[in-house]
Structure 1
Amino acid sequence: MGFAISLRSDHPSAGTVRALWRDAAPFEERPSMARLGYPPHITLAIYDDGVREDEARDALDHACRDLPALRLTFDAIRTFEGPPLVLWAAPRPDPMLYAAHAAIHAVIDPAGCRPHYRPGAWIPHCSLATQVRHECRDDALAFAHAPRAAFEVIFDALDCIAFPSLMPLALRRLP
């Protein structure tokens, strides 16, 4: 069993991300993000094995210390090349977001984390579509590059889930 620690939004402002999920869904065979049944989020760390549940909870608690709800501004849609191509919303840099990421890795050795989520490699992102079909690539890239207004989302919780079942293990509301 693996664990993921994420900053998530249960706030009404997350509706903008959910709308982008709907807009990006036609580029996929099945809508990857809505299908998860999990709120809009920014994953801070993923551990496939070698980390115990109590360690993950400790890291979550450490990251929550002095962390308020974060109001993040998103001003671009970007891509990870894959394959498959992934569409994601890019938040503007925020020191508290980076502090939460660092706090987790101060408790759990980053060597046990998936490489793309380790300090120095992590790119904060809110996924919109993770399985863009090859034949939709050009349309998805046009969608990503289309001008759009910046928007804000309030991320009001940190959680730890077990996967692949996405079973919640711990949830901490942020003030």
Structure 2
Amino acid sequence: MVASVELHLDERATRRIRVLWDLLEDIGVQTLRTPHNGRHRPHVSLIAARALDPDRVAEALTGIEVAAKLRLNFQFAGVFVGRVVFLGLAPTPDLMHHQSVVWHRLVVHGIESLPLYNPGEWVPHCTVSMRVPRPILTDGLRRCLEVLPIEATVTRAAVVDYARDIYRELP
């Protein structure tokens, strides 16, 4: 199980990524549309952990505008180990600094994240599928590339753990 601090995207970008999910599902790629009764939203995770206490996270992030009006630009598609397909973001200084500030504030308050979310390790992305079957991986990536680039604005932030039915908006 994984919990995260997510940045949610404006309506236009969200709609475009949901269209991508539909295109991928049509060729047999299970996307984030499917698990947890369709509650997933297209998002960028600033940190992820095995579990997060939303009250502790909110307290640790007091005074930080987690849902900062960042401009995001999805420019490429990629694959993490395990055939996890994602849309990659241009790592702008504002985005990288924002993620680092959130991460540091949580660490100072004793809230640890998975190592891949440490500053300097984090790859800004939006996951579209967790396990793409090998025979259709190339087709899945091609579909991702067909929708790029996608420009987005952050509109909300939340602590999310769908497996534990946790969703708490952050300022």
Q: Confirm or deny a common fold (TM above 0.5).
A: yes
> Residue in 1 aligned with 2:157?
158
Structure-1 residue corresponding to 2:41: 39
Paired residue for 1:53?
Answer: 54
Q: Secondary structure at the match of 1:121?
A: coil
Separation (CA, whole Å) in 2 of partners of 1:52 and 1:132: 31
**Residue in structure 1 matched with residue 168 of structure 2 by the alignment:** 169
The residue that corresponds to 2:78 in the other structure is 78
Please say if residues 158 and 171 of structure 1, whose CA atoms lie closer than 8 Å, have aligned partners that are also in contact: yes
Displacement of 1:132 in angstroms is 0.6
- Contact 2:61 2:106 (8 Å CA) reproduced: no
| SS of the residue 1:164 aligns to | helix
- On the 8 A contact 1:71/1:154 being kept in 2, the answer is yes
**Which position in structure 1 is the counterpart of 2:120?**
120
Contact 2:24 2:31 in 1 (8 A): no
Native 8 Å contact 2:77 2:87 kept in 1: yes
TM-score (norm 1): 0.78
- Contact kept, 8 Å, 2:16 with 2:147, in 1: the verdict is no
Gaps of 5+ in 1: none
Counterpart in the other structure of 1:132 = 132
| Letter in structure 2 aligned against 1:125 | H
- Length-normalised TM-score, structure 2: 0.80
Where structure 2 has 5 or more consecutive residues not aligned to the other structure, the ranges are none
The two structures, once aligned, show a CA RMSD in angstroms of: 2.7
Tell me, in whole angstroms, the C-alpha distance in 2 between the residues paired with 1:59 and 1:100: 15
